[in-house]
Structure 1
């Protein structure tokens, strides 16, 4: 039993709020994952709407005119996923900025993105795309970076 434990339960009471916070963040990351998977498997016309010629509007360029708007959506979605995974996989608030935790959050988010791309491959109306998987990875890395920066400023 630790010195901090006044309950007699044999558990360090200081870690219980952190465990509760980790579980909440894990639940949020799970919901984000479900949303990403769901949005990625429905026909594109339901997500993006239809253009006047009847096709999906996935060809519309996003901000800066560099890549399609769908790549920006991929990046944003996986940035949110990595940002929610970071507190879910870290043991302490200080641990969130550790390289291993950041790499784990990015790897899990990018792995989900790669898995979604593979799920799209045989799915009617969807296609697997290396460009989408790359946007997922870039978004995950940027999201983890933003989460670390925000976390450092809060502490």
Structure 2
């Protein structure tokens, strides 16, 4: 690549004497500047070892297996705990059923009458009922008398 400068030439009849003389004189051409180019050479491709990638893959695989093992252990613990809680629930359900049966047997009419007799209670001969809507009494209430007081004294 050369660097040359182009100058415009004007016809000599239009120029003054000194300018015409300057235009006719030619300046010597400068030699072009040469910049040394670097020498190009073939560079071998960098060698990357694949051990880093292999170690990364093995590490990720190991971490995944470890995570699965911990998850499996956690699930196993939860299963044992669940089994224990279910057995405890069955025992408590059996205990509740036993207690319910005891309460029902103690509330049977025959047992209640026997307990009431032991306490000295007597059945009312003529029961009366209250109507909660209007507060009226249905029936004729009578005082209950004990069998011992109903018998004549000797």
* Same topology, TM > 0.5: no
TM-score range, shorter chain: under 0.3
TM-score (norm 2): 0.27
TM-score normalised by structure 1 residue count: 0.27
Higher RCO structure (Cα 8 Å, ≥6 apart): 1
Point out the structure with the larger helix share. Answer: 1
Higher gyration radius (CA):
2
